[in-house]
Structure 1
Amino acid sequence: MVQVKIDKNDIFKGLDRPVYILEEDLLRRNLQLIKSVAQRADIEIILAFKAFALWKTFPVFREYINATTASSYSEARLAFEEFGSPAHTYSPAYTDYEIDDIARCSSHITFNSLSQYHRMKERAKMVNPSVSFGIRINPEYSEIETDLYNPCAKGSRFGILASCLPEKLPTDIEGFHCHCHCESGADAFKRTLVHIEKKFSKWFSKIKWINFGGGHLITRKDYDVQLLIDTLNGFHERYPGLKLIMEPGSAFAWQTGVLVAQVVDVVENQGVKTAIINVSFTCHMPDCLEMPYQPAIRGAQSLPDNAVWDKENNSSPYIYRIGGNSCLSGDYMGSWQFDHELKVGESLIFEDMIHYTTVKTNMFNGVSHPSLAILHTNGDLEILRKFGYEDYKNRMD
């Protein structure tokens, strides 16, 4: 690890290689808010690794939260070994060759189906007699508009419908887990809760906990925190015996850092200028292509995607498409307007690139990952990890 003292007002000066930079001040701001919500609503809020798993920051997290949620053996082991507490684990399908290790690393195991529960429960209990079993429920309601991220879409493989649950639950099922949100507000949660209660409340007296999953973007600037707290406290009043859990991922790392990349070339074809950078959308910002959404670039104005072609209405000479450095034809996005001509070597700063992006990167084409760094509160920029040839080679080992 390398540490350099830098001016926090000019943290990107002199960078010549791509790097994700997490700002500790901004992370602590989010953590403080999340801890406050947990206390005021009397719930447990835990970190979902699927959105953020930078384990060298776990000492900071442990000052605010006590547990995490996992979706695989590797995530459960990371929780157990590096976070220092067993995971709340859910997977769409557990395997015979991993269930023992998952049980060893988990405090809670949620099953996606009753068939998985019946197949795996005895082995899991044998390994960890104290593990708490839950099942995932599907309320058949979600306000997520993009099907790619909607776990309650028609025909979804996630969770058990109320019509498929037995009137009497197995005695060792202690909890329900549901996930219906994606970067959603408290108003969406309040409306969704009506459907959850309508379909599943008759079983609430038979369980000990309910996990309302992730997608609650508590730290977004316009999020109605008080509405969330009031909604949860109202639920407590109706069902005082239930422990409540939430497991957001994005909310923890929301707007806590950036991806800094450099322009390596500018090419022009049929009047379209493309600034090619030393990172890749498909490798390092896959959500931009999957969702899709156009990220913010500091100092640039985001324009409609086809603005690079619209010469009649866009007279500025500084409109660029941004292209990645892989050979995938679709590894580009556009359009952005700058106030100057882009030059080879200058940095572009992609805003809010810590949650999900850092856990979804890949090495397609052998394109190396950006480094991982944290900007500490004292102004030290610490490089946590650099990537190179050996990282690519070892993926095929």
Structure 2
Amino acid sequence: MQPYYLLQESLLRRNLSLIRRIADEAGVEFILAYKAFALWRTFPIFREYISHTTASSPYEARLAFEEFGTKAHTYSPAYEDDTFDTILRCSSHISFNSLTQYSHFVSKVKEQGPEAPSIGLRINPEHSEIETELYNPCAPGSRFGVLASQLPEQLPDGIEGFHCHCHCESSAEALQTTLGWIERKFGKWLGQLKWLNLGGGHLVTRKGYNTTLLVSILKDFKNKYPNLRIILEPGSAFAWQTGPLVSQVVDIVENHGIKTAILNVSFTCHMPDCLEMPYHPAVRGAETLEDAAETGAATEASVYRLGGNSCLSGDYMGYWRFPNPLKVGDMVIFEDMIHYTTVKTNMFNGIHHPALKIEKLDGSIQTLREYHYEDYRDRMD
């Protein structure tokens, strides 16, 4: 059996329905961030619920314009001269990361006349509740965003919006705190703007997320700043818990009493966030044991580390307790592997890439894409 990601349409529509309800109640717009989900063959489903998407590169901007069918809200740490025409053609909003980037490209944006994208600046409120340093865009010395101390009293000509991103799988309470920091640091400029993009990381589809508080926070902020159109661009929230990665046991090895089930997938290739964050993914039917080595459970008969089929020594995680001892050929199903995972995969070591499949509302399964040797070969062409 070849491995595959399985997106479940019913779960995707569940998330989309909730997001649309929140947007309607709060009077804001939610847009899809491609950095977390870019399965473009599912865009017809998304277009039933949302109207726009967000891009961070020329390729993502083209995906928005050519496949989603609307121009992107685009932000990049640094635009390049030789691809900026693509950004202009495919974007309705362009946010600059620095005043130097703004100065370099503003005349080119204005040359577009009435069709010119709306210009924004990314701001850095110097506050984030993200604990993992790898994902914290507001850490001291961050390369992201303009500080309040760097802005003139009157915003540079043509700037119509602020873009702020400092959340990661965060709560409504975290947004409430963030808005306080934005007002404290950048409040004197908010009256000069037409829109405020609050970025991603708003995990509104997570169980227990306080959507009532979120709607209240957003309504209050809009009442305070009626000139502002409020935009949120989560990625994970759209695809949160919408499907698994299905793999198979290829071998089982033992060393000093520790058993590792080697799979036909790879953490470093197909689940990189597990190693980067790091976090132990849920495995269907198994119990996650984060302290197995300390408690002695690691040597139990049905407790295993799970290892990828690559040459990277650290391509494994552990431990899990299964109902019964594993054997070659058993399926191991990693839950919630659609958001971020599907866009961050790679073909390191020439490891076979999992297929992309969708389970339709009627229960039928459609293959969106299979990968072959030529996909690996042609990356080096």
Q: Does 1:223 align with 2:214?
A: no
Tell me which amino acid in the other structure corresponds to 1:134.
G
Counterpart Cα distance in 1 of 2:156 and 2:255: 65
Structure 2 CA distance for aligned equivalents of residues 361 and 139 of structure 1: 31
- Preserved contact between residue 298 and residue 304 of structure 2 (Cα < 8 Å): no
Is the aligned partner of 1:184 residue 2:170? yes
Which residue, out of 46, 52, 56, partners 1:67?
A: 52
Alignment of 1:52 onto 2:37: yes
Q: Secondary structure at the match of 1:241?
A: coil
Measured against aligned partners, the alpha-carbon deviations of 1:253-303 in whole angstroms (never above 9, x if no partner) come to: 000000000000001111110000000000000000001000000000000
1:197 aligns with: 183
Structure 2 matches for 1:231-242, cutoff 5 A?
231-242=217-228
Contact 1:138 1:160 in 2 (8 A): yes
- C-alpha distance in 1 between matches for 2:337 and 2:176: 28
Stretches of structure 1 lacking an aligned partner (at least 5 in a row)? 1-15
Amino acid at match of 1:162: A
The match for 1:345 is 329
**Cα displacement (A) at 1:237:** 1.1
SS state at 2:120 partner? strand
* 1:9-88 equivalent positions in 2, closer than 5 A: 16-88=1-73
Provide the C-alpha distance between the structure 1 equivalents of 2:316 and 2:73, rounded to a whole number of angstroms: 37
Question: 1:124, 1:393 → 2: CA distance?
Answer: 39
Are positions 1:257 and 2:246 aligned together? no
Which string of whole-angstrom CA distances, capped at 9 and with x for unpartnered residues, describes residues 346-365 of structure 1? 11110000000000000110
| Structure-2-length-normalised TM-score | 0.98
**Long gaps (5+) in structure 2:** none
Q: How does 1:237-386 map to 2 (within 5 A)?
A: 237-304=223-290, 307-308=292-293, 310-311=295-296, 316-386=300-370
Shift in Å, 1:121: 1.6
Match of 2:374 in 1: 390
Task: Give the TM-score normalised by structure 1.
Answer: 0.94
Match of 1:5 in 2: none
Q: Give % identity.
A: 64
CA distance in 2, matches of 1:368, 1:97: 34
Question: Would you say the 8 A contact 1:308–1:321 is kept in 2?
Answer: no
Partner secondary structure for residue 98 of structure 1: helix
Tell whether the 8 Å contact from 1:100 to 1:124 is kept in structure 2 after alignment. Answer: no
Q: How far does the alpha carbon of each residue in 1:232-264 deviate from its partner, in whole angstroms, 9 at most, with x for none?
A: 000011111110000000000000000000000
Residue 144 (str. 1) matches residue 134 (str. 2): no
Q: Which residue of 1 aligns with 2:91?
A: 106
| Separation (CA, whole Å) in 1 of partners of 2:198 and 2:322 | 42
2:117 aligned with 1:131, yes or no? yes
Deviation of residue 343 (structure 1)?
Answer: 1.1
Distance 2:327 2:270 in 1: 22
Contact 1:278–1:325 (Cα < 8 Å) also in 2: yes
Aligned to 1:92: 77
What's the offset of the Cα at 1:309? Answer: 7.0
- In 2, the alpha carbon distance for the partners of 1:146 and 1:90 equals 22
How far apart, in 2, do the equivalents of 1:155 and 1:345 lie?
Answer: 49
Kindly provide the amino acid, as one letter, of the partner of residue 85 in structure 1. T
User: In the TM superposition, what is the alpha-carbon distance from 1:315 to its structure 2 partner?
Assistant: 6.8
Does the alignment pair 1:159 with 2:145?
yes
Give the structure 2 partner of residue 9 of structure 1.
Answer: none
More moved, 96-105 vs 119-128:
119-128
Report the CA distance shift for 1:99/1:299 in structure 2 as closer, same or farther (over 3 A). Answer: same
Residue 234 and residue 271 in structure 1: after superposition, are their counterparts in 2 closer, same or farther (change >3 A)? same
RMSD after superposition: 1.1
1:17 deviation in Å? 1.3
1:124 to partner: Cα distance: 2.9
CA contact 1:135–1:173 (8 Å) conserved in 2: yes
Cα distance, 1:122 vs structure 2: 1.7
Q: In structure 1, the residue corresponding to 2:314 is in which secondary structure?
A: coil
- Distance in 1, Cα, partners of 2:183 & 2:139: 19
Paired residue total: 380
Does the Cα contact within 8 Å between 2:259 and 2:299 map onto a contact in 1?
no
Q: 1:170 aligns with which of 156, 161, 178?
A: 156
CA distance in 2 between counterparts of 1:383 and 1:30 reads 22
Q: Secondary structure at the match of 1:157?
A: coil
2:3 maps to a residue whose letter is P
Residue 103 (structure 2) aligns with:
118
Matched position secondary structure for 1:334? strand
Contact 1:99 1:123 in 2 (8 A): no
Q: Give the ranges of 4+ consecutive aligned residues of structure 1 lying more than 3 Å apart after TM superposition.
A: 308-311, 313-316
Distance in 1 separating the partners of 2:44 and 2:131 = 36
Give the aligned residue type for 2:45: V
Contact 1:143 1:181 (8 Å CA) reproduced: yes
One-letter code aligned to 1:317: A
Instruction: Give the letter aligned to residue 51 of structure 1.
Output: A
d(CA) in 1 for partners of 2:140, 2:133: 9
> In structure 1, the residue corresponding to 2:81 is in which secondary structure?
coil
